[in-house]
A and B are shown apart, each in its own frame.
Chain A
Amino acid sequence: MSELARESSMQRPHEAPTQRAVPAQVRPYRPRVSRFWWLRRRSYLLFVLRELSSVFVAWFVVYLLLLVDAVYQGPDPYRRFLEWSGRPWVLVLNMVALAFVLLHAITWFNLAPKAMVLRMQGRRVPARLVAAAHFAAWGVASGVVAWIVLGGL
């Protein structure tokens, strides 16, 4: 409705007929958005890749549950899971997934200070410091997980 109002407001009153055929309505040109708009710019492509990283996060959940299930089932299913995880296609899939998950983590921690505005003693904590704290937390969390998995607990 508002679209119509806008278009009609831009219409010019008809001028005296000229020799050329004048279209009935003089309307603004509205370009259509291509379905592949995200290929147009590097930053758009990076954005779409960042969003697609979530698919690999979901894949990780599936992979993790398969692992946990195998461990609960006993030593033999666990050994079979390890063999399966070494198959070329699984390995390649997991390497690609790792790349995407790293993209997710890095972009996520860089964006975190945009939403979080922290204050200490009345002063705003610089965005870089907030991001650095996130990266530090990432390092600690990864260390703890690796320590547990590799036999620390």
Chain B
Amino acid sequence: MPDTITLQVARYRPDTDAAPTMQEYVVPLRQEWAVLDGLNYIKDQLDGTLSFRWSCRMGICGSCGMTVDGDPALTCGTFLADYAPGPVRVEPLANFPVIRDLVVGIDDFMRKLPKVKPWLVREDEPGVADVEFLQTPPQLDEYQQYSMCINCMLCYAACPVYAIEPDFLGPAAIALAQRYNLDSRDQGAHQRMDVLATAEGVWACTYVGECTSACPKGVDPAGAIQRYKLTAATRTLRSFLPRGER
């Protein structure tokens, strides 16, 4: 294994640049170094002006997502040795506005997320604050997979529909809606349906399936969307029986 590797890093300085440019840095190549370690080496030793987000270094904070050699990835969990002898291209997450260098703006997602009410909705509130809601292991199994989402946005970066249709609610928001829809303690499914069963909700998805391949936590948003399509479609059929909606 060579002892150095070249990182080609996207630089964008909004006050001077019209578009991002690539800059090369040579960093040590160590067996245990992730791409994020390489970026931190640049920041500490080579070029302090490089901007990027990171926090936990253990794949749980969801802030170090970038495009590594064309694929959306958490840079703390993507190892330089796998790209030897290099060079490795490091770019900001696709489909988001670039604020500076490797930092993207995620305001769009932050605006969409609360629309699906990603919390337990109870019809019988208030008055149940001190009540325990029991849940059996099979009931937990129903949604647990979706609760692993860390809002890292890799699925949005992988989704061509989101790239073309910025109004699309997107994989993570829909998967998180399903996380609560499938929770035995939740009663908000019909409220979420107003947001999910729309042209910008699940119906915009054409099942490319890349969100699921990109997810570092094994969430399968594509499956969540597909499953919700069937739910929404059967509900629509049933709604024709008593009263025609729309």
Chain A residues within CB distance 8 Å of chain B: 2, 6, 9-10, 20, 22-23, 26-31, 33, 37-38, 40-41, 43-44, 47, 51, 111, 114-117, 122, 124
Contact = CB atoms under 8 A, between A and B. Distances in A.
A43 B210 contact: yes
Interface string B17-57: 10110000000000000000000000000000000000000
A114 B15 CA distance: 46
Nearest to B213: A43
B15 A26 contact: yes
Given A47-B208, A111-B207, A27 B14 contact: yes
A34 B2 CA distance: 37
A31, A111, A116: residue with the most chain B Cβ atoms closer than 10 Å? A31
Nearest to B17: A29
A115 B226 contact: yes
A15 to B, nearest CB: 9
B210 A29 contact: no
Contacts of A33: 160, 163-164
A18 B192 CA distance: 51
A114 B14 contact: no
A37 B227 CA distance: 27
A28 B227 contact: no
A114 B97 contact: no
A127 to B, nearest CB: 9
Given A10-B99, A41-B70, A124-B141, 15 more contacts: A28-B105, A29-B12, A29-B97, A29-B98, A30-B97, A31-B98, A37-B163, A40-B70, A43-B209, A47-B206, A47-B208, A51-B206, A114-B207, A114-B222, A115-B229
B82 interface: no
Given A10-B99, A44-B210, A47-B209, A26 B111 contact: no
Interface string B163-183: 110000000000000000000
A22 B107 contact: no
Nearest to B105: A28
Contact of A115 (B94, B206, B230): B230
A40 B91 CA distance: 15
Interface residues of B, number: 33
A41 B69 CA distance: 12
Contacts of B98: 28-31
B160 A37 contact: yes
5 contacts: A20-B16, A22-B15, A28-B105, A44-B160, A115-B229
A20 B17 CA distance: 12
B12 A10 contact: no
B194 interface: no
A23 B15 contact: yes
Contacts of B227: 114-115, 117
Contacts of B94: 31
Interface string B124-167: 00000000000000100100000000000000000010011000
B105 A10 contact: yes
Given A2-B111, A10-B105, A122-B138, A26 B230 contact: no
Contact of A114 (B20, B107, B108, B223): B223
Contacts of B164: 33, 37
Interface in B90-113: 94, 97-99, 105, 107-108, 111
